[in-house]
Chain A
């Protein structure tokens, strides 16, 4: 435990100090360096301390991981009440669903073939490729920052891509929630029952939160209820082998739909964003393992993902709303993987602990870092070109 804590302190301090001071110069030129170098520092230092991270210690940290994942779901859910759903155009919905299904199924198929060749286990190949495919769906929220960088944020294309980035996150979480009961259901009936229970339990918790917060006056009372419900949601999700992110997203959506206080909840949860991601990155770094084949495969898949995203946009939707130059701008914006990509890997590690999950996490993490690096270069080249 001492070595772990020492590791945590060193890693957190280095990451915070490095990102704040050492790379300020880079940041002003190109924000990607700032992101990538922080992530690399966290990952490298985390790997150095990984040896001291035993399964027992992993169990002690588990509640905090659950909380962090729950936070992700709840915070995302608070932005997507039913009223927000109506704001998305029908064509955006169609595109998002098509894109999700296309990327997920092609990515799943390729990953399954590769993993089955490597492990000869259909269970491992199935669960591993589902996680890799889930990690590939989300367009990073940083796509929006890229657009800002390219001064395209307020264009019709920029607004559209922002909607897509949000939708891709929702789709990832929805698929995670749908797939979670598969880890334990033995037949279709059990799967259906489990899914129904997952959704109804989340709605009940969401309604409890709505009733609990509707007359609260003090922010102190508010934070106690929100954090309490978040903990209960995450704890119950793991108890029933559900997905903590999905359960909390439904809670957040219920609050967002039925409560007038959703903005207060958002404001209270917002300051936790940096600590949550730092903690998840750290945990991912401590648990991932590097397997050469997996990393090679992951690198190839980044390009495959880019092609799929680009073509799905261009042929499914692009011609209808965006102009041809805007489509060309899309490439650097969609390269970075979303934060959910490595979170999916952490979820796998919690459900199926072992070396295989650590390799998958390593592959996802490599994709995450490579994605940022490539996008960084792409944006810089674009800047120099213009």
Chain B
């Protein structure tokens, strides 16, 4: 309780500072400009942490507390974090996402994947095939009842259905990692859960990019974009992201050998380098960093040490990343679109259950894995929001904007239920100590 009182004092101080800029007493005040980033970051760090510890006490993951605080304090809530702050904290957000991606990539060990290769393959393939095809079918099925779908021509509807399907498969390795670290979860199912989430994410980035470019080429048949051209551009883009990830991983291995006295410095340098490459070459940041983490973990002796160091200092970054993700969500969207959004959420849960159950059964997995693993794939977070914003920017059609709004509503619900279900799954799979 005392901690809540303390963040109330800090919030009041910050609020006063933000309300005063043009008063007589402080004519030179610059808050609202460049310096509010520091204030907002500090406030969200401690406040989200207190919210997180509060939700932990009622057996809900801390992550949900961070998201909740982001929603409450964000531009669509109380406005303590303003839309301009979110822009200002872009680099910090990138920093957090990159570290999470490096850690997630570093959790993938070739030896562990090799020992469960059939489960990895069936689960990854199953999610795409079963969830993807069932979601596509569902869009056609509900078409007459939803004006957004009913008004579209055959080609546009197909593009809409496929993009919705890919969005349904997308999950959140960052959430899986955050909940695992928070609960100190260890075991084969945790490794499998995270590994498959990372694989799905890599394929999602690839497929989504192809779909966006291909869909645009089909819809704007007079636009001069051939599908082949678009496909080539996407593949070279993804290929480059992987290559740069490998290069960064290599540099990191060399760096570790020479500078292993300061792991924090090495990590900071790597993230800055990744940001540089991503900005110049327009790479997939998450993919590049995951490949770098994977390379270091599997091809160097010091990799384990570095990943552990990243894990140890990961909590502040989880707080920043998930609080900002929460702040970006607008629950008001649900006011208009809740029937269709909840239908999609419900259907997605069902399809993921079916896909995971059948994949584990086919691969010969254990009964508890079959029964509970699906709960780990429900969460959606930063990457899904990123995909929506790419979709929104690429498709300047009114239907695309409406569909993007619908996706955000679905992600908002999944972001809330995902971590809770994931924690329950880890508990039932007996991978949380105590």
Query: Measuring CB to CB, which residues of chain A are less than 8 angstroms from any residue of chain B?
Result: 1-2, 5-6, 8-9, 12-13, 16-17, 20, 59-60, 62-63, 66-67, 183-184, 190, 193-194, 201, 204-205, 208, 211-212, 220-221, 223-225, 227-236, 238-241, 271, 274-275, 351
Contacts and interface: CB of A to CB of B under 8 A. Distances in A.
Contacts of B316: 223-224, 227
A240 B319 CA distance: 27
Contact of A5 (B9, B13, B40, B276): B276
A2 B276 CA distance: 6
Contacts of B28: 183-184, 241, 351
Given A232-B39, A235-B38, A221 B49 contact: yes
B220 interface: no
B17 A208 contact: no
Contacts of A234: 38, 42
Interface string B1-32: 01100100110011001101100011111110
Interface of B: 2-3, 6, 9-10, 13-14, 17-18, 20-21, 25-31, 33-43, 45-46, 49, 88, 91, 258-259, 262, 264-265, 268-269, 272-273, 275-276, 279-280, 312, 315-316, 319
Contacts of B31: 235, 238-239
Nearest to B2: A211
Specify the main secondary structure of chain B where it touches its partner.
helix
Given A9-B276, A224-B49, A238-B31, A231 B268 contact: no
Given A60-B34, A235-B35, 11 more contacts: A12-B269, A62-B34, A204-B13, A212-B3, A228-B43, A236-B39, A239-B30, A240-B26, A241-B26, A275-B264, A275-B268
Contact of A236 (B14, B27, B33): B14
29 contacts: A5-B272, A8-B272, A16-B262, A17-B258, A62-B37, A63-B37, A63-B38, A66-B35, A66-B38, A184-B27, A184-B28, A190-B25, A194-B25, A201-B13, A204-B9, A208-B6, A212-B6, A221-B49, A227-B316, A231-B42, A231-B45, A234-B42, A235-B36, A235-B39, A239-B39, A240-B20, A271-B264, A275-B268, A351-B28
Which 8 A-B residue pairs are closest in the complex by CB-CB distance? A231-B42, A235-B39, A228-B46, A232-B42, A239-B31, A239-B17, A59-B34, A235-B38
A208 B9 CA distance: 8
Given A2-B279, A184-B26, A231-B38, A236 B269 contact: no
A141 B258 CA distance: 28
Contacts of A201: 13
A212 B10 CA distance: 12
